[in-house]
Structure 1
């Protein structure tokens, strides 16, 4: 039975964590742990894709609270996310076998890595609020421990602190949301919550709390401040899991609450996810475009892609509320398709960043360059991931984003004028984000791998090991397959769309030539195979014509600058130069960019200096004042530690009287 197989594998993952704790001195402990994780994640993936005779499987374990127990459930939605999580887990564990040779403190990672995988899986299978919240906190604490793997670095300790605070804040919001859903009766199993009647104000409150709780874990702006700190601090395979899998667990939680537990939606439910999703997409890509830290660039890019997913989910809610089943199914399918796609290509990119870091000891792309010569395999795979995340055909990123835009083009059918005005504005924001995203990854790949080395690195660059290359190549193959044959994945997602929005896209397997048509072939369609064939024909045809008819053969010459040979790599286009137009046009509004030019006077021999200061307005104007207020209050309350026994008794008595008065009123 798939559900029992999944629960057994999750228990085994916890057992692997315990094994790592008690056998930490073994020289081969890393390989044992990561290979065990590969096998267990494969079994969990199989449990997710096994055809089930019934759509829903449930069970109850005699654990947790005695009168509630722990309820577990697998349906089409949880099976999809189970497959996404464990596919990412297989790839990350395979990559980690080679990456583990470079880990300085493996026992800071090994006990928590299988526990992190187990926590994510339990969240997806949970069928009551108690199990969901316990698994959510377990996942958060395990990932927090992994963020602090390199705890000797002060910046990593700050990242862990901010992450723990945001995780606690999100968990509090979810606790309040489930408390409102359970009501005074305290029926916290999801089946009872589904059957209960809900007042409109209560549903709106729960939706807002769920968006805060899940959005803080997913990295939805303005709750994203932890993500650019935590992802670079964690080991690269953990960063890939946090970005490719953990953020998707948060998406799953939002879908479960908004599309399942709350019942039929109102049209305004879609406004918040669309608004915050569009803001996240634009903020994320703007900050990604100006980053010099390669892993921080990828972290901000995750914020952008999570924004795209929430825009699609908001559209699905709006269409569902108005009884437009097919457009709702299109938006919902596009959201899940992008969830799957992002888990693939973002894992490739984090693996590539880890390979660059191991090979050079550098994450600052301003100090890199020319790595395509020393790391050709890594460069090719990183390029493939960059093409996919830039939404360029024929890879998978294009298909899901194209489907989101197709759903946006159906928005004139919505009757509410607020949505008629909002959705086109969201579409323009996504279009701008898509263009900036392509520029961001042109910059990331070009500066890192092309040109000449801009500075000497602590290590001699070399290509990644076979395990790392294999994990990246496998994921890139899946990106290509999902881009060329998207109809197979769309038809796989359609049962979930039918259950949660009441409609499905047309059966794509019945369309000729493996094309996909979101609504009907007469409106719009896309054929990845034909696009791929055209790209290959154009590329090889152009190469043949140039080689055959060009009067001179290929020749090499030294690098030059305005016609003069220039041996210095400093004359190359830098990452800051590439981002300068965006920084100057949008930087003042988006991230308070300031440029200060120190130009020496005539006759002075000192060099000119250009200093650029960039701030996060959301952190400076929202989180920093809150932090100062908390610290100030804590400092003021610190005096309570030095009261006498009589003063403590008086304080308790006063509090008791105050509470009795409140109850009486």
Structure 2
């Protein structure tokens, strides 16, 4: 333990006398690792781990976000750590791209960490100190992924991130379904890691230099650059949940504790987006047109798939998991559009598409983390995560309900919250596609834009279901009457993330001006000056004549309308109303069973998109004493792609196992036959 902590303390001592942002970030990483190790000294002390270590981890997140903002300058900062292997030290680099994603990591993890301080209970999964170790190592590994400037450190941090998140997912490992979900997650993660490693190998080209600086200087042909892009798309797509590598995501999120689900969906998925952007726009020498077409189509399929399956879910965490797939699809659409504009040297439009992509990454980190934490509070309060057994919680959980409403409106893309800004910018980039030289793309891209609008509209439909079924109406179970609101630490974490949704929605010009450094690094163009050409009140994508948007004026209009309605009702109708019992087709006998259910809400989607689902229905018989109807919509890709592979692997394993009999003379015979074969071939 002393040998492990000594280099960390030496690094921390050096950082105290060097105020560079990269050094501050290294200090935060060392601080997080130290917090994780400290939890092992009191592994069962929930108060120490929860009320001391997790709040300190939140402070580290805020410091990381502040250093990231300071590091989004024009000059990259580099550092070399005397760790790793002989001749292979760890190289670090802080530029605008890594700084942006470190801001995302720090700001989102601050809210999740402070929420976690009030979330965990005794007897839930792993010991508190062990959980704190895995949690803070997870944070440190993600930060190192974004700072890595060589393939060696990147892969070490990437695998550390995968292993620590695996242990977090399987913290309640006594349940078989959780162990299965963790195994599936780890399997897909390692398959993706192989793709990433191979892409680095192609860029390295056998020169023995695995630094990113050497990869930037390499001269790859179009063929090998395309091989690298496809390997990176596969590897990072496996971590991001891109179709058809998405199968782990709806299994791992329900299995993990809610703060872990929030951290994985809100932040970890963005490390994959970061890696894809780093390889595609920074390490590769040029971008080809067909890369953008592939990313655009794949992103569209992922977005539509995710939102369709989210609409038919009856488990609130699985619903949010499929919603994450949909949002990752939208982000990939933005990357594809950026690649297309870059291929045609339309730098200004590429900057708009990239800014929309980065903005949506930041937005998703806040509103999806908020909603996953909301499900955690609901689960603790009610011991239910099935939408069919919830309802009416706005009465007993008003704090959670109102904060969840902010996240719901934000993820639905309604102004003036943050989700609308990034989606509006992306659609503005789509509207500029008629300027593309290719007539085929000019016909294809508007269809893609319409499909993206469909996905966004369906996302609003899903969020109406999510919020309405959980918080509105009457309670569907008697035990919901004893539901309690979030404690003060949980409220603080939820409030921080909700505040982020509001601020990011009301100040888009300032956010876009901060993104200028990233868009200049990756595309050579900026969007902040264009966005601010009408002042801070309006945000402009291309020109004020085409379109502009003012979130503050929109908010002012909403508040004015509400105030006017209130005044008119009070002035002209107050005292003139007569209250009486509503008829409502037998209102006195109305029960929670008459409310719209989660299954009923998703039924139109099942009917419209039935060919895309594998539907199993359980119909009641005419003589059933207690008739029940149950319908399940499953993923066809699981049965068409993954199960056949699993069965093939199982058969091969059985065939190979027949060679092992446990008898020593059989193994000696194998060795003797092998020796004869080798002698035969060496003659």
TM-score normalised by structure 2 residue count:
0.92
Contact 1:360 1:459 in 2 (8 A): no
Per-residue Cα deviation, 1:414-470 (whole angstroms, up to 9, x for no partner): 223443343223212211111111111101111100110111337820110111111
SS in 2 for 1:44: helix
Q: Does 1:515 align with 2:545?
A: no
Distance 1:660 1:262, change over 3 A: farther
Q: How does 1:262-281 map to 2 (within 5 A)?
A: 262-281=284-303
- Residue aligning to 2:30: 11
Cα distance in 2 for partners of 1:185, 1:513 equals 50
Aligned length in residues = 657
- Residue aligning to 1:72: 92
SS in 2 for 1:70: strand
- Residue aligning to 1:543: 566
Q: Which moved more, 1:129-138 or 1:631-640?
A: 631-640
Q: Does 1:635 align with 2:644?
A: no
Contact 1:369 1:453 in 2 (8 A): yes
Query: Cα RMSD over matched residues?
Result: 2.1
Distance 1:417 1:654, change over 3 A: farther
Cα distance in 2 for partners of 1:29, 1:506 equals 43
Q: Which moved more, 1:12-21 or 1:299-308?
A: 12-21
Cα distance in 1 for partners of 2:452, 2:73 equals 40
**Unpaired runs of 5+ in structure 1?**
none
- Residue aligning to 1:481: 503
1:560 is displaced (CA, Å) by 6.7
Aligned with residue 373 of structure 2, among 351, 354, 359: 351
Cα distance in 2 for partners of 1:60, 1:462 equals 51
SS in 2 for 1:613: strand
1:335 is displaced (CA, Å) by 0.2
Contact 1:108 1:149 in 2 (8 A): no
SS in 2 for 1:64: strand
Cα distance in 1 for partners of 2:201, 2:186 equals 22
1:547 is displaced (CA, Å) by 3.8
Per-residue Cα deviation, 1:1-29 (whole angstroms, up to 9, x for no partner): 11112112212212222211232143523
1:621 is displaced (CA, Å) by 0.5
- Residue aligning to 1:232: 254
Cα distance in 1 for partners of 2:667, 2:455 equals 61
Distance 1:528 1:95, change over 3 A: same
- Residue aligning to 1:155: 177
1:613 is displaced (CA, Å) by 2.9
- Residue aligning to 2:52: 32
SS in 2 for 1:72: strand
Q: Which moved more, 1:200-209 or 1:611-620?
A: 611-620
- Residue aligning to 2:229: 207
Cα distance in 2 for partners of 1:277, 1:658 equals 54
Distance 1:271 1:652, change over 3 A: farther
Contact 1:9 1:43 in 2 (8 A): yes
Distance 1:450 1:651, change over 3 A: farther
- Residue aligning to 2:430: 408
Aligned with residue 365 of structure 1, among 387, 395, 418: 387
- Residue aligning to 1:250: 272
- Residue aligning to 2:217: 195
Contact 2:74 2:517 in 1 (8 A): no
Cα distance in 1 for partners of 2:157, 2:574 equals 67
SS in 1 for 2:415: coil
Q: Does 1:296 align with 2:318?
A: yes
Cα distance in 2 for partners of 1:372, 1:555 equals 27
Contact 1:362 1:457 in 2 (8 A): no
- Residue aligning to 2:10: none
Distance 1:654 1:579, change over 3 A: farther
Contact 2:50 2:118 in 1 (8 A): no
